[in-house]
């Protein structure tokens, strides 16, 4: 991708719609969004206030889409967006924001600040002001098919391991299956137990499923870096694979932004509705629970909590399902303070984990999660996003906390009654 300031400016112009204009027109600079953002609460840096991260987009809106702003532009008044300005904002927009969506929930005038930051990233990426780590991940996603560079042979090797270990067959490229499972690179490389867990649950419940060898990658660096063109290309690969295998449903795995990409942004990125349904793995599992197709053995006595991945709960709408599922096997489930749609981000979503430059700050802001956990004293933390999981483990280690981080799908699989 060739980047230039002009491309960035035009990309910002394209992002302004009626919602963005009403958001900017409504901001009263009350600063309440700062208190909703862990990058502010844990650092106290005023420039990290969420609404400030949208400043490049605000200046473009004002100069291009308001009468006074246009007059100002003609007569040389008003603050302009410059390449230097974009460079200055880069770390605020990428290193100090996980697109977690908490600011959008507290803004008293109703600004969806997260959406505004997501849109601002379009201009940042097009002008070349994105973090090198995220640019690298995005390039790998386009050329190799995975941000971590995971190729089909790597997946095949993991599948072979699972098949050898369990004696189960992992269906690949099965035409006409009901469900096509997507996986995140992190699941393939760091948590292959997830594949085993899904296979076990689907066998137990009699679900017809497959993995596509053409498009197995669920993650989408395009939406993290803010490049709609790339994001659309990555979504289209999945759409094509689903059409080739004639599947009725596509499953988004335990990955937050993958769900945002394929479920909510996908059809809008490619400009048309899907011929298949997208379900999050937790939605499908909860549906199986409702239909009485899941039986568990005994119940866990451990005190467990659930970390809501932002893109799955607050930004994705999958909030009750994990709690219903945990209720199947846990006797001592306890919520963190601010649970569900108001949960605090782990600190590494929205591309922060692909951006090595942000390593220090993501661990610093983990203090927020630590405070949440310190308030409830649990034996284990369940989540449903492998990116959250890696970072939660990192953060716990950094803060010398001993606490197992569990995948919900894997924990459910372990507790299935197979008799």
Binding site for another protein (CB under 8 A): 16-23, 25-32, 34-36, 40, 44, 46-47, 49, 51-52, 65-68, 104-112, 115, 263-268, 271-274, 277-278, 313-319, 337-338, 341-342
Torsion of CA 358, 363, 364, 368, to 10 degrees: 120
Which is closer to another protein, CB of 41 or CB of 166?
A: 41
Cα–Cα distance for residue pair 297/301, rounded to 1 Å? 13
Which is closer to another protein, CB of 278 or CB of 300?
A: 278
- Tell me the closest approach of the beta carbon of residue 150 to another protein, in angstroms: 27
Phi, psi values for residue 55, rounded to 5°: -55, -40
- Tell me the closest approach of the beta carbon of residue 373 to another protein, in angstroms: 16
Which is closer to another protein, CB of 140 or CB of 315?
A: 315
Total residue count of the chain as it appears in this document: 419
Cα–Cα distance for residue pair 27/255, rounded to 1 Å? 32
H-type helices in 91-214, by residue range?
Answer: 102-106, 113-126, 132-143, 152-166, 185-189, 193-205
Q: Closest Cα partner for 285 from 211, 193, 184, 181? A: 181
- Tell me the closest approach of the beta carbon of residue 17 to another protein, in angstroms: 5
At 158 the three-state DSSP class reads helix
- Angle of helix 83-90 relative to helix 5-15, nearest 10 degrees, comes to 70
And the tokens for 38? Answer: 């862990």
Which is closer to another protein, CB of 115 or CB of 196?
A: 115
- Tell me the closest approach of the beta carbon of residue 36 to another protein, in angstroms: 7
Return all residues near 159 (Cβ < 8 A) that are at least 6 apart.
170, 172, 195, 211
Which is closer to another protein, CB of 209 or CB of 276?
A: 276
- Tell me the closest approach of the beta carbon of residue 405 to another protein, in angstroms: 24
- Tell me the closest approach of the beta carbon of residue 27 to another protein, in angstroms: 7
Which is closer to another protein, CB of 200 or CB of 257?
A: 257
């Amino acid at each position: 991708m060739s980047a230039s300031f002009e491309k960035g400016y035009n990309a910002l112009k394209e992002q302004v719609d009626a919602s963005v204009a009403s958001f900017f027109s409504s901001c009263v600079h009350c600063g309440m969004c700062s208190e909703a953002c862990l990058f502010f609460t844990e650092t106290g840096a005023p420039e990290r206030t969420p609404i400030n991260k949208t400043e490049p987009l605000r200046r473009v809106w004002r100069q291009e889409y308001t009468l006074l702003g246009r007059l100002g532009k003609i007569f040389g008044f008003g603050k302009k967006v410059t390449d230097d300005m974009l460079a200055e904002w880069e770390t605020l927009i990428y290193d100090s924001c996980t697109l977690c969506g908490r600011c959008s929930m507290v803004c008293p005038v109703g600004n969806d600040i997260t959406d505004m930051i997501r849109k601002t990233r379009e201009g940042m990426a097009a002008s070349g002001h994105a973090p090198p780590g995220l640019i690298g991940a995005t390039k790998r996603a386009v050329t190799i098919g995975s941000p971590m560079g995971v190729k089909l042979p790597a997946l095949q090797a993991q599948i072979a391991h699972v098949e050898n270990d369990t004696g189960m067959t992992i269906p690949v490229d099965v035409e006409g299956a009901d469900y096509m499972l997507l996986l995140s690179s992190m699941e393939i490389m760091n948590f292959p137990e997830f594949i085993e867990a899904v296979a076990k649950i689907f066998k137990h419940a009699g679900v017809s499923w497959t993995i596509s060898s053409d498009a197995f990658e669920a993650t989408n660096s395009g939406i993290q870096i803010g490049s709609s063109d790339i994001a659309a290309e990555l979504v289209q690969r999945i759409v094509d694979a689903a059409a080739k295998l004639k599947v009725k449903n596509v499953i988004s795995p335990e990955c937050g932004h993958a769900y945002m990409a394929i479920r909510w942004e996908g059809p809008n990125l490619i400009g048309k509705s899907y011929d298949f349904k997208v379900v999050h793995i937790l939605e499908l599992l909860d549906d199986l629970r409702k239909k009485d197709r899941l039986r568990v053995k005994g119940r866990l006595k451990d005190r467990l909590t659930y970390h809501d991945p932002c893109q799955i709960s607050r930004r994705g709408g999958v909030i009750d399902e994990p709690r219903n599922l945990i209720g199947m096997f846990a006797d001592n489930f306890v919520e963190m303070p601010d649970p569900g749609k108001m949960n605090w981000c782990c600190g590494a979503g929205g591309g922060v984990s692909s951006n090595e430059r942000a390593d220090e700050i993501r661990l610093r802001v983990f203090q927020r999660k630590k405070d949440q956990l310190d308030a409830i004293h649990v034996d284990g933390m369940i989540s449903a996003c492998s990116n959250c999981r890696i970072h939660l483990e990192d953060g716990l280690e950094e803060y010398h906390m001993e606490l197992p981080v569990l995948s919900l799908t894997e924990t459910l699989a372990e507790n299935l009654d197979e008799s």
